[in-house]
């Protein structure tokens, strides 16, 4: 079979998947890039070709610290970065500790492994609504126990204001660490036992085993895991939207803020400009992750 005929045969099999990708991912991403350069609102949406072309104005507006939108967008970017800087390492370390814990044999291990997966498989909408209940000021258990321990005098309002982001972080780490644990457990189990035996013969302590065998062997899988988490961090939406509502004031992240700007205030052009920036950031990070992976193959 000629290479052209092979290409055509594969094309027939992949065509439906290609069409889905085309209409849901590729066309919208390029179209979104175009919308970012026009002044599109609710009145011009069906006559989008006549919407005035404004060049880079949308970008200047959303990145300008002098406009209200700009201030809020920049703050939302900072929020999601700050959110990731805390939740990713926290999820990773909890995941690693529990993976080390569960990597030995003990009675009931399968059950424990199944149970720790619960947060990961519980629907976001359920998990974060339950956390919203837990964090309620007057009726929630967080305040109940903080008061009982004497750590606070007054019930704290968790889900509004400056503390809101920390409440979201706690709920997200609770939901996210089992995935890290799962990946790291798989990584731990792929480490050949002989390495440990050889290190023991060389007189390594149990800390030495971790430092010179486990840790280096987990490095590639950790690198991909952390990079992927860093990318997926920009997907953060559900936890903020469910815990804090559609308008969390100063605790917006890009996803919630763009949603509000585009679909409540109908600033589609500015919303698209903000989305394009996110797309570019994610694209750059994806290129980085593919590079790391390729290097990993060469090692």
Q: Which of residues 233-292 bind another protein (CB under 8 A)?
A: 234-235, 237-238, 241-242, 254-255, 258-259, 262-263, 268, 271-272, 275-276, 278-279, 282-283, 285-286, 290
We find the least distance from the C-beta atom of residue 215 to another protein, in angstroms, to be 17
Among 84, 91, 140, 176, binds another protein (CB under 8 A): 140
DSSP code at position 1: -
We find the least distance from the C-beta atom of residue 196 to another protein, in angstroms, to be 18
Bridge partners (DSSP) of residue 38 are 53
Among 115, 162, 205, 249, binds another protein (CB under 8 A): 115
Backbone angles phi, psi at 53, to 5 degrees: -75, 125
Count of residues that interact with another protein, criterion CB under 8 A: 94
Cβ–Cβ under 8 Å, residues 192 and 103? no
Among 122, 162, 265, 295, binds another protein (CB under 8 A): 122
Q: Which of residues 5-34 bind another protein (CB under 8 A)?
A: 6-7, 9-11, 13-14, 16-17, 20-21, 23-25, 27-29, 31-32
Which of these, 39, 81, 53, 55, lies nearest to 253 by C-alpha position? 81
DSSP code at position 157: -
Among 89, 129, 161, 162, binds another protein (CB under 8 A): 129
Q: Which of residues 64-93 bind another protein (CB under 8 A)?
A: none
Is 69 or 276 the residue whose CB approaches another protein more closely?
A: 276
Residue written as tokens 């003990």?
106
Is 26 or 198 the residue whose CB approaches another protein more closely?
A: 26
CA distance 234 to 236: 5
Bridge partners (DSSP) of residue 53 are 38
DSSP code at position 163: T
Backbone angles phi, psi at 236, to 5 degrees: -50, 115
């Amino acid at each position: 079979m000629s290479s052209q005929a092979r290409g055509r045969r594969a094309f027939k099999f992949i065509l439906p998947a290609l069409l889905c990708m085309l209409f849901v991912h590729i066309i919208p991403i390029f179209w979104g890039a175009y919308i970012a350069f026009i002044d599109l609102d609710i009145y011009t949406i069906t006559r989008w070709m006549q919407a005035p072309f404004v060049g880079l104005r949308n970008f200047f507006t959303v990145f300008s610290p002098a406009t209200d939108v700009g201030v809020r967008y920049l703050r939302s970017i900072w929020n999601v970065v700050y959110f990731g800087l805390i939740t990713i390492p926290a999820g990773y370390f909890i995941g690693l500790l529990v993976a080390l814990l569960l990597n030995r044999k003990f009675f009931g291990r399968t059950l424990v492994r199944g149970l720790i997966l619960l947060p990961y498989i519980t629907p976001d909408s359920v998990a974060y609504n339950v956390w919203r209940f837990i964090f309620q000021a007057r009726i929630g258990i967080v305040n109940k126990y903080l008061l009982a321990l004497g750590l606070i005098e007054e019930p704290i309002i968790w889900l509004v204001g400056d503390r809101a982001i920390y409440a979201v972080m706690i709920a997200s780490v609770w939901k996210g660490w089992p995935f890290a644990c799962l990946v790291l457990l798989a990584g731990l189990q792929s480490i050949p036992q002989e390495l440990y035996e050889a290190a023991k013969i060389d007189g390594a302590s149990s800390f030495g085993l971790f430092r010179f065998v486990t840790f280096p062997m987990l490095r590639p899988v950790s690198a991909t895991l952390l990079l992927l988490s860093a990318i997926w961090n920009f997907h953060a939406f559900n936890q903020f939207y469910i815990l804090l509502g559609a308008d969390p004031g100063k605790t917006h992240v890009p996803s919630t803020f763009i949603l509000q700007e585009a679909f409540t205030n109908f600033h589609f052009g500015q919303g698209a400009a903000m989305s394009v920036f996110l797309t570019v950031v994610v694209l750059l990070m994806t290129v980085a992750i593919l590079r790391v992976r390729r290097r990993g193959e060469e090692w």
